[in-house]
Structure 1
Amino acid sequence: MNNRYTDKSFQGFFTNADDIRHTMIELLGDTSGHTIIEPCFGEGAFIKDLIGSPKQIDAIDIDEEHFKREVKFNNCNYYHLDFIDYHIHSENRVEMLPDREYDSTICNPPYGLKFSKEYRKDIKKKFPDVYARESYGLFFYLTLKSLKENGKYVFIMPDTFFTSTNLTYLRKFILETAKPTHILQFKSKRFGSVNFGYGNLCIIAGTKTKTTPDCDINWIDAVSSDEALINLLDTDKTTIKGSYLIENCNDSWISPKVIGSVSFSRDVITLDEIADCKTGIYTGNNTDYCGYNIDNPPKRVNGHAVNWSDVIMTPTLDEKESGIAKEVAYVPFIRGGHREPFETTNSCIRWDKEAVIFYDKDKKARLQNKVFYFKEGLAIPMVTSGRLSASTFNNAIFDQGVVGVFAKNNDYHNFLLIYLNDDFSSKLKSLIAPGANNSANYLKRLKIPKLTIEELNEATKIVETAKSLGWNETKLMRAKYIKSVI
Structure 2
Amino acid sequence: MKDLYCSYYTESDEITSYMISKLNIKDNDIILEPSAGEGIFIDGIINQQKNIQIDALDINEKAVNILKKKYSDMPNVKVRLTDTLLDRQLDMYADRQLWLKITDTLEDKELDYISDNGGYYDKIIGNPPYGAWQDYDKRKILKKKYKGQYVKETYTLFLYRCISLLKKGGKLSFIIPDTFLFLNMHKSLREFLLKSTKIEEILIFPSNFFPGVNFGYSNLSIITLEKDDCESVKDNDVKIFTGFKTVRELGRIDENSENLQCFCYKQSDILKNENYKFIITDNSKIAIINDSKVRIGDVADVVTGFYSGNNKEFICAKSKEIKGAQNYRMVDCDKIYDCYDLKGIKNVAEGYVAYVKGSSDTRYIRKEDEWYVRWDKETVDFYIKDKKARFQNSKFYFKTGIAIPMVKSKQIKATLMRNRVFDQSIVGIFPKEKDKIYYMLALMNSNVINKLLHIINPTANNSANYIKQLPYREPGYETLMKINSNVVKILDMNPETDIDKIEVVNEENNKIFDLLYQDIL
TM-score range, shorter chain: 0.7 to 0.9
2:383: which partner in 1?
359
Q: Structure 2: which amino acid aligns with 1:326?
A: N
CA contact (8 A) 2:168 2:227 kept: yes
Amino acid across the alignment from 1:413: I
- Asked if the contact 1:48/1:73 (under 8 Å) is kept, the reply is no
- Would you say how many aligned residue pairs link Structure 1 and Structure 2? 471
- After TM superposition, the score normalised by the length of structure 1 is 0.84
Runs (5+) with no aligned partner, structure 1: 1-6
Mapping 1:197-208, distance limit 5 Å:
199-208=218-227
Q: Is residue 511 of structure 2 the alignment partner of residue 480 of structure 1?
A: yes
1:380-408 superposed Cα distances (whole Å, 9 cap, x missing partner): 12235343211112222212222111112
Q: 1:72 to 1:433 in 2, by over 3 A?
A: farther
Q: Does the C-alpha gap of structure 1 residues 16 and 266 become closer, same or farther in structure 2, counting only changes over 3 Å?
A: closer
Give 3-state SS (helix, strand or coil) of 1:68's partner: helix
Alignment of 1:389 onto 2:408: no
User: Could you tell me how far 1:430 is from its partner in structure 2?
Assistant: 2.1
In structure 2, the residue matched to 1:61 is 58
Q: Does 1:410 align with 2:434?
A: yes
The amino acid across from 2:480 in the alignment is: L
Alpha-carbon contact 1:168-1:249 (below 8 Å) kept: no
Corresponding position: 1:342 with 2:343: no
CA distance in 2, matches of 1:158, 1:419: 31
**Partner secondary structure for residue 184 of structure 2:** coil
- Residue type at the aligned position of 1:485: L
Give SS of 2:419's match: coil
**Other-structure match for 2:331:** 305
Match of 1:103 in 2: 122
* Partner SS, residue 105 of structure 1: strand
Q: Percent identity?
A: 32
For residue 33 of structure 2, the aligned residue among 22, 31, 38 is 38
> Letter of the aligned partner of 1:208 in structure 2?
K
Deviations 1:188-219 (A, max 9, x none): 22222345676421111121124744321222
More displaced stretch, 148-157 vs 321-330: 321-330
Conserved in 2, the CA contact under 8 Å of 1:288 and 1:304?
A: no
User: Displacement of 1:136 after TM fit?
Assistant: 1.1
Cα displacement (A) at 1:64: 3.1
State the shift of 1:80 in Å. 3.0
Given that 1:184 and 1:222 are in contact with CA atoms closer than 8 Å, whether structure 2 keeps it comes out as no
Q: How large is the RMSD of aligned CA atoms in angstroms?
A: 3.5
Structure 1: distance between partners of 2:34 and 2:306: 44
CA contact (8 A) 1:374 1:395 kept: yes
What is the Cα deviation at residue 20 of structure 1? Answer: 1.1
Give the residue type in structure 2 aligned to 1:153: L
Deviation at 1:38, TM superposition (A): 2.4
What are the equivalent positions in structure 2 for 1:288-303 lying under 5 Å apart? 289-290=314-315, 298=322, 300=325, 302-303=328-329
Residue number in structure 1 paired with 2:304: 279
| More moved, 28-37 vs 399-408 | 28-37
Q: Matches of 2:145 and 2:486 in 1, distance apart?
A: 56
1:82 equivalent to 2:86? Answer no
Q: Distance in 2 between matches of 1:443 and 1:253?
A: 17
Check whether the contact 1:382–1:437 (CA below 8 A) recurs between aligned residues: yes
Query: C-alpha distance in 1, partners of 2:131/2:459?
Result: 16
Q: Is the 8 A contact 2:345 2:376 kept in 1?
A: yes
CA offset at residue 247 of structure 1? 1.9
Distance in 2 separating the partners of 1:71 and 1:449: 66
What is residue 169 of structure 2 aligned with on the other side? 150
Task: Report whether the alignment pairs 1:120 with 2:139.
Answer: yes
1:176 paired with 2:171, answer: no
> Structure 1's 475 and 464: CA in aligned 2 closer, same or farther, altered over 3 A?
same
Report if aligned partners of 2:172, 2:225 keep a CA contact under 8 Å in 1.
Answer: yes
- AA aligned to 2:273 is N
Residue type of the alignment partner of 2:344: G
Moved more, 136-145 or 255-264: 255-264
Amino acid at match of 2:250: L
1:376, 1:392 within 8 Å by CA — same for their partners in 2?
A: yes
Q: What is the CA–CA distance in structure 1 between the aligned matches of 2:290 and 2:77, rounded to whole Å?
A: 56
Verify: 1:188 aligned to 2:207, yes or no. Answer: yes
TM-score with structure 2 setting the length: 0.79
Moved more, 100-109 or 280-289: 280-289
| Partner Cα separation in structure 2 for residue 258 and residue 125 of structure 1 | 38
Q: Which residue of 2 aligns with 1:3?
A: none
**SS of equivalent residue, structure 2 residue 134:** coil
Q: Shift of residue 309 of structure 1? A: 9.6
Report how far residue 411 of structure 1 moved: 3.7
Q: Distance in 1 between matches of 2:491 and 2:11?
A: 57
After alignment, is 273-282 or 466-475 more displaced?
A: 466-475
Q: Using the alignment, how far apart are the partners of 1:471 and 1:177 within structure 2? A: 52
Q: Distance in 1 between matches of 2:291 and 2:171?
A: 41
Equivalent residues of 1:171, 1:249 under 8 A apart: no
How far apart are the structure 2 equivalents of 1:79 and 1:192? 26
Q: Is the 8 A contact 2:11 2:211 kept in 1?
A: no
- The 3 A distance-change label for structure 1 pair 306 and 193 is closer
> How much has 1:348 moved relative to structure 2?
4.0
SS across alignment from 1:427: helix
Amino acid at match of 2:133: K
1:140 offset after TM fit, Å? 1.1
Structure 2 runs not aligned, ≥5 long? 92-101, 494-500
Structure 1 equivalent of residue 148 of structure 2: 129
The match for 1:447 among 471, 486, 489 is 471
Instruction: Name 2:6's counterpart in structure 1.
Output: 11
Question: 1:61-105: per-residue Cα shift (whole Å, max 9, x none)?
Answer: 333332121465574433332211215899699xx9x97522222
User: Using the alignment, how far apart are the partners of 2:203 and 2:166 within structure 1?
Assistant: 22
* Offset from partner CA, 1:224-253 (integer Å, 9 cap, x none): 455421111454765222233212261631
Native 8 Å contact 1:386 1:436 kept in 2: no
